[in-house]
Structure 1
Amino acid sequence: MKLRILGVLALAALAGACDEPLDPTPQQAIPSEEALDTPDEVRVAVNAMYDALQDCDGGYCRDLVIFPDMYAGDLAFTGTYASDREVGRATLTSANTALPGIWGTAYRGINRANNVLASLPALQDEFDDESEYDQLKGEAHFIRALNYFNLVNFFGGVPLVTQPISQVPADVGQTRNSAAEVFAFVESELAAARAGLPELGSDAQGRASYEAATALLARVHLYQREWQQAYNLADEVIDSGHFSLEPQYENVFEKEQTDEAIMEVPFTVTDPGSLAFWFFPGSLGGRRGFAPSASSIGGVTGFRNSFESGDRRRAVAVRFTGGGTAYGYKYTDIASTADDVPILRLAEMYLIRSEAAARLGGRLPEAIADLNVIRNRAGLANLPASVDTQVEVLAANLDERRHELFYEGHRFFDLKRFADAVPAAQAVLTARGITGNRLLFPVPQREIDANPKLTQNPGY
């Protein structure tokens, strides 16, 4: 009997059991009558859902926020890992040893959410506060949505697993759902999340909230080119009054969980991340596995040199040692690597609303106004009046996304989405060889080996 199913089937243990997908002897089953019998056990299981987001092997600790920028060329490979080298050179293979981490970490989080959702109905009457029951249920729907959204963006259609797996069945195979089916499921999950989650604004402190579900749903519609829905949802978050842009860009990351943060993955001294370690050079205590790129790609200026004069964000994007070594400075806590990592923040909502308005046509002044909000916070003047066509406004939006959301896991997906409208986006993808099948990552080969019903993305 195979012990791996989609990189997830060992149930997330609530206390001390192993759920590592590559462990040769994982715990294969937790009897359902012993798994989640009380509200307290559900609360612990909900915490475990969030814990999966912190994973340094495929989670927000590293790969989810670094690989999209490195694949697109804004981060250059400067390390030693062969798996990172493939990403940095855009030469991915199905044998890449980092991809199973992205796949497996997402499915672990999904399975934990599945267990919460399966256990809650029988315990509803045991919660003293019905709103807590609704919130925990909403959080589980949100976590499933976020993980499936990440999976579909990297790999395309993936198997939709919606029931908890506490025992490894004899038939381990499951085929892939289509990307459209996964997106539809993500939308339905976020609708369910919004129905149960409270409006917490920036007080959510690393937990899902109504606004986080709304913001993620705005991004989901944007990625599907559903402009009006994306506009409406981003507008709702902006107008909620629960968030405000930090006056200084660097404070978004130095202070953490600020009024701009819609949702962040928290890391602490006792539960550390790794991003500062991977960005900082050895002379500052890091490893410097990747660094801001200086090379132009397809006629587009390299990221390190692409900032306008006076753009305060450049000091966060790139710094230099005394010896002239460039490194990223968005995540700075090298001592404990306890930097929180943004998943959703208000600045992105302005950029989503701007892009959607520009795509809808006839609303360019709105689109420009939102871009100017982001530019002004960065110390830049309004866009020049000569930027007045749809293509020019969309190009300006892509440029602002590049200089606002760097090292947060957006660049590759932005280039894919803008390639139809902004020639520079297609030029970068073409120069990097990211066309055709390369617009998706390969399904990890070890997942296909464990489940023959899985099919590989074309060309790998």
Structure 2
Amino acid sequence: MKRSNKLLSKIVLLSTILMVWGMGCNVVDIDDRPDPNNSELQNILDNPSRSDISTLVSGTEAGLRTELRIYHINVGMIGREMYRFLSAEPRNTGDLLGKGNAQLDAGSFYITRTWASFYRVIRNANITIQAATTLNDNGIYSDEELNGTLGYARTMKAYQYLMALTQTNENGIRQQLEEDIFNTGDLLSTANSYQLIADLLDEAATNLTNAGSTFPFNLSSGFDGLNTPETFRQFNRALRARVEVYRSQPDWNAVLTNYLPESFIDETADLEFGAYHVFSTATNDLLNPVFADPQAGSGDSWVAHNSWVEDAEAGDLRIDQKVQLRDEPASLDGLTSDYGLFVYQSQTAPMPILRNAELLLIRAEALAQRNNIGDLDAAEDDLNVIRNAAGLADFNRGTGGQAEVIDEMLNQRRYELFFEGHRWVDMRRYDRLDELPIDRPEDNVWSSFPIPENENL
């Protein structure tokens, strides 16, 4: 993410302001609200410039990455994809795995810091919306420019709401009012949380349709190929497909006829194509937060759950691509792994937000759920695109039916999307959390994180 020093300085300043608004002086005190007397904020709201919008957009995208380390440890460990063995942090192998009498703590960093990060980005997006609306009212922004900015900001808001809801699940999320950054809305039920996210994405899609051919700001290289209103709308529709399959009663026909056809899904294209978090060694930028030496010692090591390798189909190329056999096993707190994580193989390796492979797997899932013979055949075709890319022969259900196709779809999601934040969610939405491996007899598999204690108002 390369930017000029002047722009980076402004982003850092704005991010500092947002951090204070979001957390106060205490990292877990996330109930603090923005100060309405803050002159810098008030100037952006009352007298914004085009450069302010560019800075806000860059700050939003940068903010998406803030707590990715904690988020991926959370969902990766509970989903039994991986372990973070960090001797200085016993809550990783204690609370997250339900060791003995351990419970998830509503005041602990693993939920307060991720929640605060998501809501800082949401507030930043709301500031962007208010500032862009003011520019349009003042005749500085055209209607197309306003729509492009609204479409971008609302899509990013929806994505962050979804990240929060992925963790809290049946506990829901809190709405952040778009028209009032100084106050929050209601704590929503799970169903209403998904509806909020779906509505935001649909509203953003309409904005993007009316946004002309270019944005009035630039996106990072993580959105290469998806950085115009038209192509960013494809990313929006891809997210909408993900949201729909996550709901308790998905509209499979809408996934297949509305959302996926308007996304960037392409069975002939690179499975890696999509939107990414990007990192660099530039001053004030971030390095990939989950990159680690796969041979690192047990005092601080990132390892794959042995079952991921042991359960793999012979010849699956993704095993060597995503893990590395360790010279010595890593162990901590009664847990052991023989394989170091190597999904992200450098300090600047990008991390997917959503990519083509996931869209093909979503289409296979939706086709399987419709459960017509032709649909099951088409689902197999999509699964075989994924399998063949991994060096595997075609899947053929033979005399089997829907259940076999769904099992294969979940299996391909397990291997193709490994350590991208999906396994725990997939097993939860198919009511299969009891199938995840338990390595210590008293461990537990959680279905949800609690709402942070400072949000239990």
Q: Per the shorter chain, which TM-score range?
A: 0.7 to 0.9
* RMSD, matched Cα: 3.2
1:386 — aligned with what? 398
What amino acid is aligned across from residue 164 of structure 2 in structure 1? Answer: L
Correspondences of 1:57-456 after superposition (within 5 Å)? 58=67, 60=68, 62-80=69-87, 81-86=89-94, 88-90=96-98, 91-124=103-136, 126-127=139-140, 130-155=143-168, 156-163=171-178, 175-197=186-208, 202-204=224-226, 209-224=232-247, 225-233=250-258, 235-237=260-262, 244-246=269-271, 252=272, 260-261=273-274, 263-270=275-282, 271-278=285-292, 280-282=294-296, 288-294=300-306, 302-323=307-328, 326-333=339-346, 337-362=347-372, 363-386=375-398, 388-419=400-431, 426-428=434-436, 433-434=444-445, 438-448=446-456, 453=457
What amino acid is aligned across from residue 39 of structure 1 in structure 2? Answer: R
Change (3 A) 1:107 1:293: same
CA distance, structure 2, for counterparts of residue 126 and residue 281 of structure 1 = 58
- 8 Å contact from structure 1 (residues 42, 116) kept in 2: yes
- Structure 2 SS opposite 1:282: coil
1:24 — aligned with what? 25
CA distance, structure 2, for counterparts of residue 230 and residue 128 of structure 1 = 34
- 8 Å contact from structure 1 (residues 100, 447) kept in 2: no
- Structure 2 SS opposite 1:380: coil
Change (3 A) 1:182 1:244: same
CA distance, structure 2, for counterparts of residue 19 and residue 70 of structure 1 = 27
Normalising by structure 1, we get a TM-score of 0.77
Further displaced range: 234-243 or 214-223: 234-243
CA distance, structure 2, for counterparts of residue 206 and residue 64 of structure 1 = 29
What amino acid is aligned across from residue 51 of structure 2 in structure 1? Answer: D
Gaps of 5+ in 2: 1-11, 27-31, 215-222, 330-337
1:4 — aligned with what? none
Change (3 A) 1:232 1:359: same
What amino acid is aligned across from residue 260 of structure 2 in structure 1? Answer: D
- Structure 2 SS opposite 1:85: coil
Normalising by structure 2, we get a TM-score of 0.78
Change (3 A) 1:241 1:441: closer
What amino acid is aligned across from residue 451 of structure 2 in structure 1? Answer: V
Is structure 2 residue 44 aligned with structure 1 residue 43?
no
Q: Spell out, residue by residue over 1:360-406, the C-alpha distance to the aligned partner (whole angstroms, 9 max, x if none).
A: 11121111111111101111000134363111110111100000001
Change (3 A) 1:242 1:353: closer
Gaps of 5+ in 1: 1-11, 247-251, 253-259, 295-301, 454-460
CA distance, structure 2, for counterparts of residue 399 and residue 306 of structure 1 = 10
- 8 Å contact from structure 2 (residues 85, 92) kept in 1: no
What amino acid is aligned across from residue 272 of structure 1 in structure 2? Answer: L
What amino acid is aligned across from residue 312 of structure 2 in structure 1? Answer: F
CA distance, structure 2, for counterparts of residue 138 and residue 238 of structure 1 = 15
- Structure 2 SS opposite 1:236: helix
Matched positions, count: 399
